[in-house]
Amino acid sequence: MTVGSNSDIAAVSAVSDVSGEKKPWNSNEMMTIAASRTLKDGAICFVGIGIPSTAAILAKSSHAPNLFLIYESGTVNTDPKRLPLSIGDGELANEALSVVGMPEIFNYWLQPGHIDVGFLGAAQIDRFGNINTTFIGNSYDDPKVRLPGAGGATEIAGACKEVIIIIKQSKRTFVEKIDFITSFGFGDGPGSREKHGLIGNGPKYVITDQGILEPDPVTKELVLVSLHPGVSVESAIENTGWDLKVAENILTTDEPKDFELKKVRELVATSSKKSE
C-alpha cells in the first residue's frame, strides 16, 4: 500500500503543540524526517511512493549517501533527484544502476531476505504490528470499504530484515482488532512469526504523527518510545484504540533541522510541478 502522497505532505497544516503554538512544520514533514533518520548508510531499502520516497531521498542526500534503493517496478540502486509519481515513473529507471523484471525483484531480492528495510502503510494496525490494507467491515465479500489490497506488502512484511510502518494515529487506524490481516507483524505475540516460517524480523518502527513506537523485545507489543515535539502522552493515548504502553523513559523526537525541511519541501515542489 502506498504510504501517504506527495500532495498530502504539502496540504497538511502546521502542527500545534500542547500549548497551541504553531510549529514551523506539518505532521507529514515530521513523519518523513523521522523515517529518514532511521535509514542507515549502505542499507538495501525497498521503497514505496509518497512519504517513503521522500524519506529515502532525504537520507541519501544527507547521512546515508550509500543507501541502496529498490522499487517494486524493477529499478535497482536508483538515485532519483525528484519525487517519483508512481513506481513506473521514468525518473527511477533513468537514475538506476539497472532495471530488472518484477519477478527478479520478488524472487531474488525480496523473498530470500536480501532487503534490509522495507516501508509499509496501513489503513489499520493492531498492538502487535499486524496491518490491514484489504477491507474495512465485517466481511470480505460485503465490506464497508474495499481497500487497495496487499500488492507486495505481504512479502515485505514477511521477508525484510526490518519493516518501517508509517501511519496517522487515531482510534480509526490504531484498533484493538483489525478487520483483516493483510500483512503479518507479530501475530498474537512472541513466537508467531517463527510458527509461520517468516524469515524477516518484523516491524522495527511504527512512525505516526504522534511519535515513534517500537515492539517490546519480549512481548512484541508496540510501545510508544518517542513523542514528536509538541505532542503529549495523553494525546497519543487518546488516539489509540487499545491500552497503549508507554516507555518509562520516553524520549522526544529531535525537531526537524532546517536542511531537512528545505530538502523535503524542495522534493514536494518537484512532484507538484510535474503533476500540473
Using the predicted structure, report yes or no on whether residue 273 has a pLDDT greater than 60.
Answer: no
Q: Three cell numbers at 124?
A: 489499520
Asked which of 147-151, 176-180, 202-206, 259-263 is least confident by mean pLDDT, the reply is 147-151
Q: Could you count the other beta carbons within 10 Å of the beta carbon of residue 188?
A: 12
pLDDT tier, 9 (very low <50, low <70, confident <90, very high otherwise): very low
pLDDT tier, 105 (very low <50, low <70, confident <90, very high otherwise): very high
Distance of CA 192 to the CA centre of its chain: 22
**Contact assessment for residue 245 and residue 56, using Cβ atoms and an 8 Å cutoff:** no
Give me the percent of the chain exceeding a pLDDT of 70: 91
CATH class of 6-271: alpha beta
Q: What gap in Å lies between CA 239 and CA 231, rounded to an integer? A: 12
Using the predicted structure, report yes or no on whether residue 6 has a pLDDT greater than 50.
Answer: no
Q: Three cell numbers at 28?
A: 507529514
Q: Which of 111, 113, 115, 137 is nearest to 124 (CA)?
A: 137
Q: Which of 25, 29, 32, 77 is nearest to 59 (CA)?
A: 32
Residues 10-46: tens digit of each pLDDT: 333 345 555 456 789 999 999 999 999 999 999 999 9
Q: What gap in Å lies between CA 48 and CA 275, rounded to an integer? A: 18
For residue 271, what pLDDT is reported?
A: 78
> Mean pLDDT across the stretch 39-63?
97
Using the predicted structure, report yes or no on whether residue 266 has a pLDDT greater than 60.
Answer: yes
For residue 270, what pLDDT is reported?
A: 85
For residue 160, what pLDDT is reported?
A: 98
Q: Mean pLDDT in the chain?
A: 91
Using the predicted structure, report yes or no on whether residue 163 has a pLDDT greater than 50.
Answer: yes
Residues 168-188: tens digit of each pLDDT: 999 999 999 999 999 999 999
Using the predicted structure, report yes or no on whether residue 115 has a pLDDT greater than 60.
Answer: yes
**Stated pTM of the model:** 0.90
Phi, then psi, of 47 in degrees rounded to 5:
-110, 145
Catalytic residues: 72
Ranges of each domain in the chain = 6-271
Q: What gap in Å lies between CA 179 and CA 80, rounded to an integer? A: 36
